[in-house]
Amino acid sequence: MIPDVAPIVSLREARRDYALGAERVHALQGVSLDVERGDYVAIVGPSGCGKSTLLNLIGVIDQPTSGTVTIARKRVDAMSDREATSFRLHNIGFVFQRFYLMPILSALENVALPMAEAKVPAEERKARAAELLAYVGLSSRQRHRPSELSGGEQQRVAIARALANHPALLLADEPTGELDARTGTEIISLFRRLNSDGTTIVVVTHDEDLANAARHKVHMLDGRIVDA
């Protein structure tokens, strides 16, 4: 079997403009970027430089005004909503600054949620969710609701949820932003372990420790990559 050597993420001259009242905001101004399989990339830069916009394009939750975005050899920049939803479900895992777990579901049920959406059989998704919670060190907290978990534990549940459907790519937007330093360090270690186990990670962060843990850093300023 020939290994897939094409970049898992490839952006070419991606631009993203927003209308802000009467003004036009140029959030991304012709960004080109490749992320290799198995890589761990941290996108850094000052607030408003376009980091999250870039992550949204890579995560197929937004589309570029112009340019191309290819993820796992598939052009995603002009997908319909239905195609993009299905693509995200099967190829991309998201971790956000706020954990956004479903408050009425247990940790296990939260992790199983994307698998239910992907119509994975109930027994299989229960086993996989338990396995993922064990991976993030929360075997004993399966039945707990989010309100019964600490911030760090909730973020680990969110990471387990992001991994549920074996995504090719894990995207994280300020994943340590709402955590204290010690809990943040635990999440950084978990990301490192995930990457060494083969998960491709792209993370947007202001956290220097998290950025330093990545294999590569991409610096952005005013909607452009200034140093990769």
Partner 1 sequence: MLAVLGVAVAAAMLLDMVMLATGMRESFRELLLSQGFDIRLAPKGTLPFDTDATIPGVSAITSVLRTNPDIREISPVLGGSIHIPVGALDVSAAVLGIDPTVQGDYEFLSGQDVTTPDAIVANDYLLQKLGARFGDTLDVAAGYDPQTRTYSGQRKLVLTGKVRFIYGATEQPSAAVRRETLEAMGGGARRDRASLFMVRVRKGANPDSVRNWIATEIPNVSAISIATAIAQVDQRLSYFRQLAFILGAVSLFVGFLLVTTLVTVSVNERAGEIAVMRAIGVSRAHVVQQIVVEGLATTFIGALLGLGLGLLTARYLNSILSAFPGLPVAIDFFLFQPRAVWSALGLLIVSGIAAGIYPAWRAASLPIAESLRREAIA
Query: Is residue 94 at the binding interface for partner 1, with CB under 8 A as the rule?
Result: yes
> How far is residue 139 from each of residues 14, 107, 131, 133, measured CA to CA in Å?
42, 10, 8, 5
Can you tell me which of 29, 70, 97, 142 binds partner 1, judged by CB under 8 A? 97
Can you tell me which of 118, 142, 178, 186 binds partner 1, judged by CB under 8 A? 118
Query: Is residue 79 at the binding interface for partner 1, with CB under 8 A as the rule?
Result: no
Task: Name 170's Cβ contacts closer than 8 Å, sequence gap at least 6.
Answer: 92, 93, 95, 162, 163, 194, 199, 200, 201, 202
- CA separation for the pair 208, 192 (Å, rounded): 14
Can you tell me which of 61, 79, 105, 168 binds partner 1, judged by CB under 8 A? 61
> Cα-Cα-Cα-Cα dihedral of 156, 201, 204, 52, to 10°?
-110
Query: Is residue 53 at the binding interface for partner 1, with CB under 8 A as the rule?
Result: yes
- CA separation for the pair 18, 73 (Å, rounded): 27
Query: Is residue 82 at the binding interface for partner 1, with CB under 8 A as the rule?
Result: yes
Query: Is residue 221 at the binding interface for partner 1, with CB under 8 A as the rule?
Result: no
Instruction: Using the rule CB under 8 A, give the single segment among 85-93, 119-127, 143-151, 212-220 that binds partner 1.
Output: 85-93
Can you tell me which of 161, 172, 183, 207 binds partner 1, judged by CB under 8 A? 161
CB atoms within 10 A of CB 88: 22
User: How big is the site for partner 1, counted in residues (CB under 8 A)?
Assistant: 30
52 is written with which tokens? 């999250």
In the complex, the smallest distance separating the C-beta of residue 113 from partner 1, rounded to whole angstroms, is: 8
In the complex, the smallest distance separating the C-beta of residue 217 from partner 1, rounded to whole angstroms, is: 21
3-class SS at 45?
Answer: coil
- Contacts with partner 1, residue ranges (CB under 8 A): 52-53, 56, 59, 61-62, 81-82, 85-86, 88-90, 92-94, 96-98, 100, 102, 113-114, 117-118, 161-162, 165, 173-174
